[in-house]
């Protein structure tokens, strides 16, 4: 079981009143589920009705964009940082 940090972007911090969470798990999916359990309002902003990341939301594991990867198969290590952020979507 690894302990990692989840960092949230400003817009989510402003409505959820938290910007950093300490989470546990063996995989990225575990870590995100732990974050959703600690902060129940978070899931609706990160995932859409498909159960996957919203179209314009990114999830980085350290310096790596995890879009398209199977979060259940992404191991995490102690000290990892998981960053939720808004995609650069033009405009």
Partner 1 sequence: MGGVLIIVGTEKGAFLCRAAQDRRSWAVEGPLFKGWKCTASGRSPSGRYFIGTTSQVYGAAIQASTDLQNWRQIEKGPAYPEGGPRKMNQIWTFRTGKDRHFAGVDEAGLFVSDDDGSSWRPVRGFNEHPTRDQWFPGAGGLCAHTVLTHPKRPDQIWVGISSVGMLRSDDGGHTWLPKNEGVRNMIPEQKPLGIGYCVHSLAQDPDDPDSIYRQDHSGMYRTRDGGDTWEKNEQGLASWFGFPIAIDRRTGTLFSFPMESDEYRLPVNGQCRVYRSRNRGDSWEPVGKGLPDAPYYSGVLRGAMAVDDLDPAGVYMGSTSGDVFVSPDLGDSWQQLPCRLPRVLHVAAYLEK
What residues line the site for partner 1 (CB under 8 A)?
A: 10-12, 14-16, 40-41, 44-46, 48-51, 54, 56-57, 86-87, 89
Residue 8 near residue 86 (C-beta atoms within 8 A):
no
Residue 4 near residue 80 (C-beta atoms within 8 A):
yes
Nearer to partner 1, 2 or 58 (CB): 58
Exposed, middle or buried by CB within 10 Å (0-12, 13-18, 19+), for 72?
exposed
Q: Please report how close the Cβ of residue 86 comes to partner 1 at its closest, in angstroms.
A: 5
Nearer to partner 1, 51 or 68 (CB): 51
């Amino acid at each position: 079981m690894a302990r990692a940090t989840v960092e949230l972007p400003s817009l989510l911090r402003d409505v959820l009143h938290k910007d950093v969470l300490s989470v546990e798990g063996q995989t990225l999916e575990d870590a995100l589920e732990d974050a959703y359990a600690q902060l129940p309002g978070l899931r609706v902003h990160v995932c859409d009705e498909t159960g996957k990341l919203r179209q314009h939301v990114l999830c980085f594991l350290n310096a790596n964009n995890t879009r398209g990867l199977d979060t259940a198969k992404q191991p995490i290590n102690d000290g990892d940082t998981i960053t939720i952020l808004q995609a650069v979507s033009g405009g």
